[in-house]
């Protein structure tokens, strides 16, 4: 093969790898998995591959076996929704390329087939997400009246989100609009219904918008030393959280509701309360998981992991002999989810993070984040004499939210890092 043919061959293969890697990043794959999968395909051709993952682009450089020739291609990351099914199938494709030495045209054919598969029915997703957020409300001690209000707020807000995204409206604007609409519906409990846990109706009405998977992926990337990618994901998630806070603030200011009172329910039977919380978390985890379009067989495992993780955390925090703080309890629960996720992933050839991350979502510290936003509103609205009190509360709540999130993700990914080889080979099917 002369130099011109070598160059053309490298160019064609580099373009495929860049498209492959950028798609994986867009659908929510963790950075290490993107790197391993892409390099694995390059190795199947006997080539060397280097990846540089930037916030909005992926830079792929491919070298021939003797490193005498190279080609570099920069691909902009496409705007795609989270899709764990594509993540799984593209991971399968990398192993098929490695084990079967598939030619480039076969890889392109299979790639286009995978990314063109239809997603879960939009109405199914809408209904399950509404039930998931209603169960999330219950996890924060909301009563059945609050759960019904949150179900309605989530159904309307998520439906509007689907329609706005379909019309390619800016994502930040979508989050502000949906947060405002959902919290307006949640605030009806303060204004008209007075169901007894009005604060939970408002506080959890927009939690379906919290970008849990990008936050978890960002923390995992940083722990796995992909610092640039991790920080980019976290900054993007923080911008979305700010948009959610803006929507909530507009509701509080316009309707003049007082979000400062927080429901606290004491349950005497810790075991039965832990089981009940676990069951509600299973529904919440399943509903939030379906947003990411996982394969059906992964949903039951997600529900089981969410149930076990949340029940364990509740027990550790409320048992009189233990009474662990939320950070430590969340870390322990995340560790258990991670330990169970790895063998489950090996059973169905699905990435462990695909059901570990949705199982963590019911433990997202949404209430601490909500309280922090309320403190910010009070800092602006209340007299100067109260300012320092709310500054201290804001620091406390925001710090706890960060620590809980970091702790539960760190606990979850420890088993994935320990069983590193197994975790990144689970998508390899039998030869």
Angle between helices 122-139 and 144-166 (to 10 degrees): 140
pLDDT at 431: 47
Cα separation, 57 vs 44, whole angstroms: 24
Cβ atoms within 10 Å of 214's Cβ, excluding its own: 19
Quick check: 229 and 241 in contact, CB under 8 A? no
With the CA atoms of 150, 153, 155 and 159 taken in that order, what torsion angle do they form, in degrees rounded to the nearest 10? Answer: -150
Quick check: 45 and 13 in contact, CB under 8 A? yes
Higher pLDDT, 311 or 372: 311
Which helix (DSSP H) or strand (DSSP E) does residue 332 occupy? helix 326-348
pLDDT at 365: 84
Task: Say if residue 144's pLDDT is above 70.
Answer: yes
Quick check: 285 and 361 in contact, CB under 8 A? yes
Main-chain phi, psi angles of 85, to 5 degrees: -70, -40
User: In sequence order, what are the residues at sequence separation of 6 or more whose Cβ sits closer than 8 angstroms to the Cβ of residue 307?
Assistant: 278, 279, 281, 282, 285
pLDDT per position as a tens digit, 86-137: 999 999 999 999 999 999 999 999 999 999 988 888 999 999 999 999 998 9
Q: What is the DSSP letter of 191?
A: I
pLDDT at 260: 64
Higher pLDDT, 255 or 259: 255
Task: Say if residue 387's pLDDT is above 80.
Answer: no
pLDDT at 2: 66
pTM, 2 dp: 0.87
Quick check: 60 and 50 in contact, CB under 8 A? yes
Rounded to the nearest integer, the mean pLDDT of the chain is: 88
pLDDT at 262: 62
Task: Say if residue 313's pLDDT is above 90.
Answer: yes
Main-chain phi, psi angles of 168, to 5 degrees: 60, 40
pLDDT at 157: 97
Share of the chain above pLDDT 70, in %: 95
pLDDT per position as a tens digit, 33-75: 999 999 999 999 999 999 988 888 999 999 988 888 889 999 9
SS3 state of residue 325: coil
Read off the pLDDT band of 288 (50, 70, 90): confident
The domain limits of the chain are: 3-115, 122-423
pLDDT at 161: 95
Task: Say if residue 430's pLDDT is above 60.
Answer: no
Quick check: 293 and 120 in contact, CB under 8 A? yes
Sign of the torsion formed by the C-alpha atoms of 134, 138, 140 and 145? positive
Cα separation, 207 vs 209, whole angstroms: 5
């Amino acid at each position: 093969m002369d130099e011109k043919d070598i160059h053309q061959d490298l160019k064609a293969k580099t373009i495929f790898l860049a498209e492959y890697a950028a798609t994986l990043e867009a659908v929510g794959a963790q950075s290490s998995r993107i790197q391993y999968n892409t390099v694995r395909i390059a190795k199947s051709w006997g080539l060397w591959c280097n990846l540089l993952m930037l916030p909005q682009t992926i830079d792929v450089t491919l070298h021939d076996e003797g490193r005498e020739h190279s080609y570099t291609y920069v691909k902009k990351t496409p705007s795609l929704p989270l899709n764990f099914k594509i993540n799984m199938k593209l991971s399968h494709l990398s192993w098929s390329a490695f084990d079967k030495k598939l030619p480039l045209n076969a890889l392109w054919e299979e790639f286009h087939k995978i990314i063109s598969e239809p997603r879960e029915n939009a109405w199914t997703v809408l209904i399950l997400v509404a039930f998931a957020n209603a169960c999330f409300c219950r996890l924060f001690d909301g009563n059945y009246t609050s759960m019904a209000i949150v179900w309605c707020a989530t159904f309307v807000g998520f439906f509007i989100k689907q329609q706005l995204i379909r019309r390619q409206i800016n994502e930040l604007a979508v989050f502000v609009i949906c947060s405002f609409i959902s919290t307006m519906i949640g605030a009806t409990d303060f204004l008209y219904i007075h169901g007894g846990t009005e604060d939970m109706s408002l506080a959890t009405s927009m939690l379906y918008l919290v970008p849990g998977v990008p936050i978890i992926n960002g923390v995992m990337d940083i722990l796995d030393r992909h610092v640039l990618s991790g920080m980019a994901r976290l900054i993007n998630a923080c911008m979305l959280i700010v948009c959610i806070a803006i929507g909530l603030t507009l509701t509080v200011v316009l309707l003049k509701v007082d979000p400062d009172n927080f429901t606290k329910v004491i349950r005497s039977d810790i075991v039965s309360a832990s089981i009940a919380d676990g069951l509600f978390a299973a529904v919440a985890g399943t509903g939030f998981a379906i947003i990411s379009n996982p394969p059906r067989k992964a949903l039951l495992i997600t529900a089981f992991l969410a149930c076990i993780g949340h029940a364990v955390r509740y027990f550790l925090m409320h048992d009189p002999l233990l009474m662990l703080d939320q950070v430590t309890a969340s870390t322990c629960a995340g560790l258990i989810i991670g330990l169970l996720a790895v063998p489950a992933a090996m059973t169905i050839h699905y990435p462990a993070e695909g059901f570990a991350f949705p199982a963590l979502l019911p433990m997202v510290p949404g209430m601490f984040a909500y309280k922090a936003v309320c403190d910010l509103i009070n800092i602006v609205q209340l007299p100067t004499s109260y300012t320092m009190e709310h500054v201290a509360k804001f620091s406390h709540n925001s710090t706890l939210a960060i620590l809980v999130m970091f702790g539960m993700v760190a606990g979850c990914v420890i088993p994935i890092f320990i069983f590193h080889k197994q975790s990144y080979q689970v998508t390899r099917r039998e030869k």
